[in-house]
Amino acid sequence: MIVILFDILWVCLAITLVAGLRKFLTAENLKDARRELWNKKRVRIAFFAIAIYLVVGLLSQIKIPGTGKISDPSLLDLAYSGMPKERTYSAPFAAEVTGIKLRKEEYPLNLVKGIHLLGTDINGGDILYAVMQGAGTALILSFGTAAVAFPIGIAFGIISGWFGSKLDDLIQWLMATIASIPWLLFVIAFLMVFGRGIFWICLAIGLTSWVGTARLIRGETMKQKSLDYITAARAAGISTFRILTKHLMPNVRYLIIIDFTLFCSSVILAESILTFIGIGVEQGTASWGAMLVEAEKELMRSPSIWWVFAGSAFVGIFPLVLSLNIVGDALRDALDPRTSSTR
């Protein structure tokens, strides 16, 4: 039941973000903001990079049922089904596997069977394939954690900013209490009790990550409720619920989109840290954090196996986190009236 509710929240968040993005792309009053974003080369590159990660992540999560296998393969699995596995490590573009000494007559066994752009791991699996599988896990964690944190943050932020008084004091106290708890210690304790599944990781991080969103929405709600269009809606006798959902929400949606882009980068880094210290995703789950754990051991080998670390850090984590931060900062500069009015 909890998992079904989690999936519903995830879908609702995705629909909200798509609706906000659609409005941004079609609204006439945002034409200047779109032009400003598109004129920045780094923002165009960042959007393109994020789109690639999204497509790859979706391909790794779309399963094809009815194949007769124990676990249904994804579209990404089918695309990589022709890539042969090697005996063990092979460096990027290498013609031979690494670290195996054979007699002269056995030399052909040392040759690689295919070309691997980022090399292979200890089991001969392609590193690029592992990086692309990790993109699917990052996608689930980003949307899943946001599906927990954003509804709580948006609801508390609007209620606190709109009604004020003692209700605002109560929510402010709750936010201060949650913010004072070290998130890492809370997540460690939570996962030790409930397990290390992706659902529990999303829930644990989400329960400690909604405070920033709530504060943003609260401040914007307090600003918006004093404007003329809200005053006119109240004078017309429109119900509070309709004012909040039909009039206020569209005017704070830009904050949600901006916060979501920056939030995703934080979640990806948090998962990598949790997995690196041994309390992240379960063993066998494809993730960039798990690749970093493996890379820590391989860097100490002789010869050094550096490409596992390079693939996870410089092809997986770093480009996506950097792109998300570039887009988030650009959206804030283009959409936030407080920054756009100063230029």
Fold of 2-81+135-302+322-340: MetI-like fold (1.10.3720)
pLDDT in tens, 91-139: 888 888 886 665 555 556 678 888 888 988 888 889 999 999 999 888 8
The pLDDT value given to residue 273:
85
Cα–Cα distance measured from residue 252 to residue 263, given in angstroms and rounded to the nearest whole number: 16
Contact criterion met (CB below 8 Å) for 144 and 10: yes
Confidence category of residue 28, pLDDT binned at 50, 70, 90:
low
DSSP state of 39: T
CA 237, CA 234: separation in Å to the nearest integer?
5
Question: Are residues 5 and 148 in contact, defined by beta-carbon separation less than 8 angstroms?
Answer: no
Domain ranges of the chain: 2-81+135-302+322-340
Average pLDDT over residues 69-90: 78
Q: What pLDDT is recorded for position 105?
A: 56
- pLDDT category at 274 given cuts 50, 70, 90 is confident
198 closest CA partner among 266, 122, 143, 258? 143
> Computed from CA positions of residues 275, 152, 136, 306, in that sequence, does the dihedral angle turn out positive or negative?
negative
pLDDT bracket for residue 27 (50, 70, 90): low
Sort 270 into a burial class: Cβ within 10 Å, 0-12 / 13-18 / 19+: buried
Q: How confident is the model at residue 281 (pLDDT cuts 50, 70, 90)?
A: confident
CA 4 to chain CA centroid, Å, is: 20
Residues 193-248 pLDDT 10s: 888 888 888 889 999 899 999 999 999 899 888 888 888 888 888 888 888 888 88
Q: Rounded to 5 degrees, what angle do the CA atoms 189, 192, 201 make?
A: 85
Indicate the average pLDDT of the chain.
82
The mean pLDDT value for 308-313 works out to 90
Q: What is the pLDDT of residue 342?
A: 45
Question: Which residues touch 159 (CB under 8 Å, ≥6 apart)?
Answer: 167, 171
Q: List pLDDT tens digits, range 282-300.
A: 877 888 888 888 888 888 8
- Partners of 63 in the β-ladder: 74
Note the pLDDT of residue 341.
46
How much of the chain is helix, strand and coil, in % rounded to 5? 70, 0, 25
**pTM assigned to the model:** 0.83
Query: Which segment, 4-8, 13-17, 239-243, 277-281, is predicted with the most confidence on average?
Result: 239-243
The residue ranking higher by pLDDT, 303 or 261, is 261
Answer yes or no: is pLDDT of 87 > 70. Answer: yes
Residue indicated by tokens 């960039």: 288
The yes-or-no verdict on residue 343 having pLDDT over 60 is no
Q: How confident is the model at residue 23 (pLDDT cuts 50, 70, 90)?
A: low
User: How many angstroms separate the CA atoms of 336 and 331, rounded?
Assistant: 8
Instruction: Compute the distance between CA of residue 184 and CA of residue 204 in angstroms, rounded to an integer.
Output: 10
Greater model confidence, 339 or 165: 165
With vertex at residue 336, the alpha carbon angle to CA 334 and CA 341, rounded to the nearest 5 degrees, is: 80
Secondary element (H or E) of residue 296: helix 288-298
